[in-house]
């Protein structure tokens, strides 16, 4: 079977749309925490998106997710949507999904620890953007905001990245996404 350029592009667009939906679905598995940040599976989904689609298509997928949420579709945690969520406490983290996906995507063609390290660098970028934004919106000190974020999410997000890398190897072999 010959795959022409048009069918390959359709396949990539379909995969990007699929992962935007996966990110939206995983956002709904949210456990509210006293910190105001929900505990979700989005980090896993964003990392998986990057490891499966590569830099360009994972950025497209995450951007679609963010834009759909910004216009009001209830795709953010707790079936929320609207531009005000990007301006709220978690907006920096949502925007931080872009470098996270890109760096995981950069790790797509790497092996083992190097690929996971790319993903962890993406998580660090996401946490920095999210924490700085939270500090600004909440009016807290940066140190206080970093302690809050690192206490609840650093280990979970690193574990999510490792799990996403492992699952992506299986998905890429089975589905031959891009």
Residue 19 near residue 51 (C-beta atoms within 8 A): no
First to last CA, the chain: 16
The tokens for 51 are 């490891």
pLDDT tens-digit map of 96-137: 999 999 999 999 989 899 999 999 999 999 999 999 999 999
| Nearest alpha carbon to residue 134 among 116, 123, 147 | 147
Other CB atoms within 10 Å distance of the CB of residue 34: 7
Q: What is the pLDDT of residue 31?
A: 80
Q: Considering its fold, how many domains does the chain have in total?
A: 1
Q: How many CB atoms lie within 10 A of CB 10?
A: 11
Domain range for 131 is 5-175
pLDDT category of residue 1 using cuts at 50, 70 and 90: very low
Report how far residue 22's alpha carbon sits from residue 17's, in angstroms, rounded to the nearest whole number.
Answer: 9
Q: What is the pLDDT of residue 177?
A: 57
CATH number at residue 58: 1.10.1760.20
């Amino acid at each position: 079977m010959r795959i022409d350029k048009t069918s390959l592009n359709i396949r990539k667009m379909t995969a990007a749309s699929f992962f935007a939906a996966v990110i939206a679905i995983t956002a709904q598995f949210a456990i509210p925490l006293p910190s105001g940040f929900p505990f979700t599976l989005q980090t896993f989904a964003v990392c998986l998106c990057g490891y499966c689609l590569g830099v360009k298509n994972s950025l497209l997928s995450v951007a679609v997710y963010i834009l759909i949420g910004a216009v009001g579709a209830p795709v953010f945690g707790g079936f929320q949507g609207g531009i005000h969520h990007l301006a709220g406490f978690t907006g920096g983290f949502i925007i931080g999904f872009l470098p996270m996906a890109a760096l995981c995507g950069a790790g797509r063609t790497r092996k083992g620890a190097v690929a996971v390290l790319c993903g962890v660098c993406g998580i660090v970028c996401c946490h920095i953007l999210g924490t700085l934004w939270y500090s600004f919106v909440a009016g807290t000190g940066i140190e206080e905001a970093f302690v809050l974020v690192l206490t609840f999410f650093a280990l979970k997000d690193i574990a999510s990245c490792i799990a996403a890398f492992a699952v992506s190897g299986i998905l890429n072999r089975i589905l031959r996404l891009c």
